[in-house]
Amino acid sequence: MNAEIICVGTEILLGNIVNTNAAFIAERISRLGIECYNQCVVGDNMDRCIAQLKDSSSRSDIIILSGGLGPTEDDITKEAVAKFLRLPLVEDEASRKSIEAYFAKRGKEPTENNWKQALLPKGAKAVPNDNGTAPGIIIETKNCKYILLPGPPIELEAMFDSQIMPYLRGLGAGAIFSRTVKIVGVGESEAETMIKDMIDAQTNPTIATYAKTAEVHIRVTAFGSDEKEARKLVKPVVKELKSRFGNNVYAAEEEVSLEQSVVELLATNKMSLSTVESCTGGMISSMIVNIPGASDVLKCAFVTYSNKAKRKLVGVKKGTLDKYGAVSKQTATEMAKGGAETAKSDVCIAVTGLAGPGGATDTKPVGLVYIGCCIKGEVRVREFHFSGDRTKIRTLSAKNALILARECILEYISKVDFG
């Protein structure tokens, strides 16, 4: 069984809004094991909407449309589907009542065009809308099922989870389950080479790699008669990936971010953190603070963008700055050490680099970044050469700072464990 998604709305074609409805619907139906090969967007235009319905109905069992159910002139989705299926529009008593109730509750009078929303294609099933006036609509034909949903995400998402998911489950599609193994310290092509045999042999589960900024995500997706069976198929593959990539795996859940894995690593080992940032300017501490519970680990953070701040706040020596410069292994070392001492934290991450566009010298190009990590007095510094614009270089610096910190913490723990 396969479905496709048609989002109707000129505002999407103009790029005025990001199409989050498509992502929401896609994620939901993929969970049900319903294949989705196509997503598309058409404007509020009767002819193009009908043309799309013609294409879509020729290749899909289920067509999910969102948007264009509103009361105004340019809402044409329902009319287009009715015209395409040659169904007359008839008033639905229940829908009319719920529209009356909706306005009564708000002490408002429905305008004439609100009643347009009570009209349904003949034989269609209305899906109550708890968050708006436009009911959803389900139309079943011999070859294809049409599901029309309101455009506002708050209305669509609630309706989908409470009523469309059960309906789709009722169609008996089986279930999909997937997990994402998240890796750092290995490039995408290197990662793929390491698991080429698994990828070549894949059928169910399937394995796909995705390159992210300073990370690689490997998604394992299995199809089963029910979720339990799908989970069972995914488990050994995830286990194999974990054993192949070892400590490079920082998470095996879609939801867990790199910064969260670092916060959790610190929390479980009762270690505190501080940061001293130059070119990243607070990006690292901001990523850390975005994790609920960051207060358990983050003692404080310094942005020492100027040399003066480097000296005043974390005690980098004037001599070091004069002799080696602000962007140097030596300065990064003193920033990390000084930050840990000032903050009295177990771990301190320090970053100093040239994010550009200006500031480059013959010996120090834009993209040169030194990242230091001090853990219990021991400092490790790594040199990086990033390329890209200022934002890219700063983002890569922040990500790699978290990666270095994670590496140092893991090593420290293993040493401690061995006594």
Residues sharing a CB contact under 8 Å with residue 197, sequence separation 6 or more, in sequence order: none
Closest to a copy of itself by CB, 105 vs 270, is 105
What is the three-class DSSP state of 338? Answer: helix
26 is a contact residue toward a copy of itself (CB under 8 A):
yes
Using CB under 8 A, pick the residue from 46, 72, 122, 123 that binds a copy of itself.
72
397 is a contact residue toward a copy of itself (CB under 8 A):
no
d(CA 26, CA 35): 9
Nearest Cα to Cα of residue 21 among 8, 2, 30: 8
In this structure, the number of other CB atoms found within 10 A of the CB of residue 193 comes to 11
Closest to a copy of itself by CB, 81 vs 291, is 291
Q: Per-residue contact track with a copy of itself, 277 to 316, x per CB under 8 A? A: x-xxxxxxxx-xxx-x-xx--xxxxxxxxx-xx--xx---
208 is a contact residue toward a copy of itself (CB under 8 A):
yes
Instruction: Give the pair of three-digit tokens for residue 344.
Output: 């009295």
Q: Cβ of residue 243: shortest distance to a copy of itself, in angstroms? A: 22
- Contact positions with a copy of itself (CB under 8 A) in 356-375: 356-358, 367
CB 82 within 8 A of CB 46: no
β-sheet bridge partners, residue 273: 298, 347
299: enclosing H helix or E strand: strand 298-303
55 is a contact residue toward a copy of itself (CB under 8 A):
yes
Residue 238 phi, psi dihedral angles, 5° rounding: -60, -40
Asked, as a colleague might, if the bond just before 357 is cis with ω within 30 of 0, I would say yes
- Contact positions with a copy of itself (CB under 8 A) in 338-357: 343, 356-357
Closest to a copy of itself by CB, 87 vs 194, is 194
d(CA 150, CA 137): 9
Closest to a copy of itself by CB, 391 vs 414, is 391
111 is a contact residue toward a copy of itself (CB under 8 A):
yes
20 is a contact residue toward a copy of itself (CB under 8 A):
yes
Q: Cβ of residue 275: shortest distance to a copy of itself, in angstroms? A: 8
Q: Per-residue contact track with a copy of itself, 241 to 280, x per CB under 8 A? A: -------------x--------------------x-x-xx
412 is a contact residue toward a copy of itself (CB under 8 A):
no
Nearest Cα to Cα of residue 66 among 162, 143, 144, 164: 164
